[in-house]
Amino acid sequence: MKEFKIAQPKSLDQVTSLLSQKNTDYALMAGGTDLLDEIKNKIIAPEVVIDLKSVPDLSTIKMDKTHVSIDAMTCVADLAENPIIRENFPVLVEAALSLASPQLRNVGTVGGNLCQRPRCWYYRDPDTICRKKGGSRCFALRGRNRYHAIFGGGMCYIVHPSDLAPALISLDAEITINGLEGKKNILRLEDFFTLPQNNVRKENVLEARQVLSEIRIPLPKNGSKSTYYKFKERGTWDFAVVSAAISGVISGGVFRDIKIVCGGLAPIPWRLKKAEDFIKGKNLTEEVIKQGAKEALTDARPLEENTYKMGLVEAVLYTAISSMI
C-alpha cells in the first residue's frame, strides 16, 4: 500500500479549494468502506485522501413542497430509517436494506454508494491491468464472466454495483455537483452514469475537482408505488446478480406510468425501456410481465457464463411487479 496524506476539510468550500490544488492526485473518501480496500489492494494509490466525514452538516434529509433532499454523506442506515423516506419512497428503503451488511450500512453513505467503483474481479486484481486501469483489453470478455454485464458492454463488461442508484433513478432523482469556485451543477441521476464506450476509466461524469453533494427526489404523485427486488446468491452481504427498481403510477390494475431500472446487468444502472413500453397500460398478468422482460432482453448480449441472467431478469421483474399489485 502506498502511503497517503489525509485532509480533513471543515466545509464544502474547503473541499473544493483542496480540489483546486493542481498536480495533486487525490481521492474523495465518503464512508471509506471500499476506498480503503482499493488503496490496500493497490488498485489505486492517491497522494491525498480527502475525508468528507470531517465536513459538518452533510448528512441531513429534508422535505420541501416539491422535493426531498438527501445530503450525500447521509449514511445508508439513516436513509433506511428516515421517516420521510419510509413514507414516500419504499423502493429506496428496500434498496438500502438490501445492500451489504448492517455494519457496512452504518458507515457507507448515499453519495459513496453512487460513486463506488466496480467489483469486477479483473479490475480488483492488482496484477491484471485491464482497460479500466489503463490496459488494452477487457479480460472478462473471454474470461470468467458469470457476474458480468449482459447489456451495455463492449469496451468493458463490469456491472454497476450500486443498489441505491437504480432505486433513485426510478424515482427521477437529480443530483447536485459542486465544483471549483462555488459552481453548482444539477443533473438527472440517470445522466450521471456513463457507459465504458464514453470513458472506460470511469463509471460517471463526475470530473476531477468535483464533488457530489446532494440528491433530490421529487415527491411522489398520487397513486405512486415503488419497490426494489434484488436477487442475490446468498442471504446477505452480496451484490445483486440481477435487481430491479420499479416506480410508477398504478390505477385500475395497470401501470399508467412505469420506470424499470436494473442493477447487475450493465456497466451503469440499466433502464429496461422496452419492458416499460410493453407493460404500460396492460393488465398485469404473468405473461405480460414476462413478455415485457423478453422484449427488453432482445438487446441483451450475454457472455459465455452469464446467460442465466436472462432468465433472472424475467424472474426479478415478475417478482417485483407482482408484489406491487
**Which residues in this chain contact other proteins in the complex, by CB under 8 A?**
1, 3, 119, 121-122, 124-125, 127-128, 139, 142-144, 146, 231, 233-238, 241, 305, 308, 311-312, 314-316, 318-319
For the bound state, the minimum distance from the C-beta of residue 86 to other proteins, rounded and expressed in Å, comes to 22
Buried b / exposed e over 245-279, threshold 16 CB at 10 Å, is: bbbbebeeebbeebbbbbbbbbbbbbbbebbbebb
60 or 101: CB nearest other proteins: 101
Pick the closer one to other proteins by CB: 18 or 242. 242
CB-nearer residue toward other proteins: 145 or 170: 145
Q: How far is the CB of 236 from other proteins (least distance, A)?
A: 4
**Closest CB 98 distance from other proteins, rounded Å:** 12
Looking at the Cβ atoms of 55 and 244, the one nearer to other proteins is 244
> Cβ of residue 202: shortest distance to other proteins, in angstroms?
22
In the complex, minimum distance from the CB of residue 154 to other proteins, in angstroms, rounded to a whole number = 19
Helix/strand/coil (H/E/C) assignment for every residue in the chain: CCCCEEECCCCHHHHHHHHCCCCCCEEEECCCCCHHHHHHCCCCCCCEEEEHHHCCCCCCEEECCCEEEEECCCEHHHHHHCHHHHHHCHHHHHHHHHCCCHHHHHHCEHHHHHHCCCCCCCCCCCCCCCHHHCCCCCCCCCCCCCCCCCCCCCCCCCCCCCCHHHHHHHCCCEEEEECHHHCEEEEEHHHHECCCCCCCCCCECCCCCCEEEEEEEECCCCCEEEEEEEECCCCCCCCCCEEEEEEEEEECCEEEEEEEEEECCCCCCEECHHHHHHHCCCECCHHHHHHHHHHHHCCCCCCCCCCHHHHHHHHHHHHHHHCCC
Find all residues with CB under 8 Å of 3, minimum gap 6, and list them: none
Query: What is the smallest separation between the CB atom of 146 and other proteins, expressed in angstroms?
Result: 7
89 vs 239 by CB, closer to other proteins: 239
Q: Which is nearer to other proteins, 102 or 281 (CB)?
A: 102
CB of 318 to other proteins, least distance (A): 7
Q: Which is nearer to other proteins, 223 or 311 (CB)?
A: 311
* C-beta atoms surrounding 66 within 10 Å: 9
Q: How far is the CB of 196 from other proteins (least distance, A)?
A: 19
Residue 302, Cβ density class (10 Å: 0-12 exposed, 13-18 middle, ≥19 buried):
middle
Q: How far is the CB of 261 from other proteins (least distance, A)?
A: 19
Closer to other proteins by CB, 207 or 304: give it: 304
Cα-Cα-Cα-Cα torsion 273, 159, 197, 201, nearest 10 degrees, comes to 140
- Closer residue to other proteins (CB): 201 or 308: 308
